Chains A and B, each alone.
Chain A
């Protein structure tokens, strides 16, 4: 028996963002001992970067009195280009008002209307002003609120632990192994239920709004454990990311009345979405901007202008203070005086670990939630304001489900955790023991460029075939990745290498799914197949690892009250 530190908790939540913390609260309320294992301190999770808001049909806006959960569900299903599972969407839309009010009652300082109710702003693809917000720092306000709530709950944090594998016993998930980054020690965790809540895989792409930590770790863990990854080819490109750093400029900037201009000073959205204009859904606005740039109507052949100057200094300072600061700090532009240079960039991973409405996956004891999962509520294109909503709704549901499951389950013996620890230690020792090979940085940069060039805003068969071949080659080379740093204390080079190995596998799955989907739907826009093809592709892509090789299958979409129609804005 080896001497690695061992822990056991009823419920282990991997990831300390909104999904993870909301699940932790619910599981603890259900009487479970809960641990949150995260590679960063929970407050550094990518949830903090969400700016614009969270959707709920509260009807607080004078223009939104007739809003309802059904209309929210309809907008979401239409926005998804009919690929979302309608039962899941209905749950999310029905739960939305209650869960937003619950966050407010926990302390979130939402912006308010004059009557004291939570303020709501218009967002793309929504029929009413439905997006509740805390200025332009909604995600941060929500995450800090949950972390605050958890100071009064008895849970255990393992901050800056990188999970290296899931442990399976007799087909069940029995825990995980993780490396404490601070000293490099491997730890074994036994658990009755494990939640993957590790966020998306945005850092697969060269231009991304995502935090640098968004490397798809949970999806990679699930994939290696044999679970299918669903709809991974659907990548949201946000229309307005800051030229240079690709930091997000919230849709709320257009919700507050911002205009998009090309280099002829035309509000070009009139040619793409006559009625919705700048507030068409993200996939449509992103393609419009890319088309303007591709056809020579951009600035420096790279970006267009997002103009807020007509809103006036007071409104910008009150509603979009963070955006103003970002533009000043990172682009040297004060949006009160000048337009912001923006271009599309990767923003959100619609795909993820296939799971049910309570987060349960095909492996008993293993759950998934948030951006890391695919329930699916976003289908092929997510509406703004629905991702924060998904995290808290499904975080809560999965927390409750894990508490119930945990009450009916025996704690795994831990022997299998011990065996896995030995394997993981050998894998890491072998990686650190290499005396030569390719470095992480070069492989990582090549992967990101390949993915952005081949699987970006516009896709075509030829470019994707080339991209897939490149990704496979990089994936092979990455198995022998080399790092100079051999120490164990805060060895970030080692973390980067482990992240990259997972990201390579995900890249291959994204590429395969995109190439095989011979249609255009939502964020997946193919120049060689410009039409949606419901006859052949109103289906979820399911990618699984079989005998070491990724394979694709398809599963039906759960349709419901909203008939599949053409999507026009």
Chain B
């Protein structure tokens, strides 16, 4: 098989695609194929990695035009055409390079974030939105000597959202992020919703108001690319939809959003 890899070095400011031949073997992930290149062919290739087991979220990249974790993406499945994900199109997915999905794997940096080098992007913007949702538990009661009690069902309701590993595949897959850099994006909104429904917090809408604007809950266009690419099956679209319904029922939809309707 061939790996076609996006390369960029800020020292000369030039980008290009390099093509490498790699022998696929059973169990080989895109990440292990990239390590093989670093070890044997070109040690100047840069990429992020850490756990290699799909829990740390450091190796998100655009693989065959789908944002994925390189560590849990198997090369044989890609070449066989299995493991397909159909996404709503957006700018970064339009082919800028010809590649044959039957024999080649196209590997590019995650979209919507500036490239530092090769497959490494600057995540600052992504984490700014994370910080903007004030991701700190704000319990309604003062902590006592024992834990806060929570119904097992209440924890189960949180789990789809606490599963998030902040890998930013959803951010890179979101057509709204593609056209509006001020949109907070699916991961930050899912995080915000996670705190809103935490039964340890006050049962009010103060959390929801943090994103009650066009760049927050109201920016989503429900393309659901976020949920399709999430390696942990987090459903940001469901949280966003539920938040909007609550805000609407409370009669707190911002005027500029009402005007658009």
Contact = CB atoms under 8 A, between A and B. Distances in A.
Interface of A: 40-41, 43-46, 48-49, 100-101, 104-107, 109-119, 134-135, 137, 140-141, 144-145, 148-149, 151-152, 182, 211-213, 244-245, 247-248, 318, 322, 325-326, 329-330, 439-441, 483-485, 487-493, 496
A492 B137 contact: no
17 contacts: A41-B58, A43-B165, A43-B166, A46-B50, A48-B51, A101-B145, A105-B139, A112-B151, A117-B149, A148-B137, A245-B27, A247-B52, A330-B72, A484-B42, A490-B118, A492-B46, A493-B43
Nearest to A102: B143
B56 A44 contact: yes
Contact of B155 (A46, A105, A110, A441): A110
Contacts of A135: 159
A269 B42 CA distance: 47
Nearest to A244: B27
A322 B134 contact: no
Nearest to B157: A109
Given A484-B43, A489-B9, A489-B10, A44 B149 contact: no
Contacts of A49: 51, 53, 55-56
B31 to A, nearest CB: 9
Contacts of A111: 152, 155
A141 B123 CA distance: 21
A203 B149 CA distance: 40
A400 to B, nearest CB: 19
A116 B51 contact: no
B152 A140 contact: no
A211 B43 contact: no
Contacts of B11: 487-489
Contacts of B134: 151-152
A468 B131 CA distance: 49
B147 A140 contact: no
A125 to B, nearest CB: 25
B178 interface: no
A109 B152 contact: no
A245 B53 contact: yes
B149 A116 contact: yes
Nearest to A488: B11
A182 to B, nearest CB: 6
A135 B74 CA distance: 26
Given A117-B147, A492-B46, A109 B136 contact: no
Contacts of A43: 56-57, 165-166
Q: Which 10 residue pairs are nearest across A and B when measured between Cβ atoms? A: A116-B149, A107-B137, A441-B39, A485-B44, A493-B43, A490-B46, A44-B58, A490-B117, A105-B143, A44-B50
Contacts of A326: 53-54
B14 interface: no
A141 B162 contact: yes
Given A149-B136, A211-B51, A109 B46 contact: no
Contact of A41 (B123, B139, B149): B123
A286 B189 CA distance: 43
Contacts of B136: 107, 148-149, 151-152
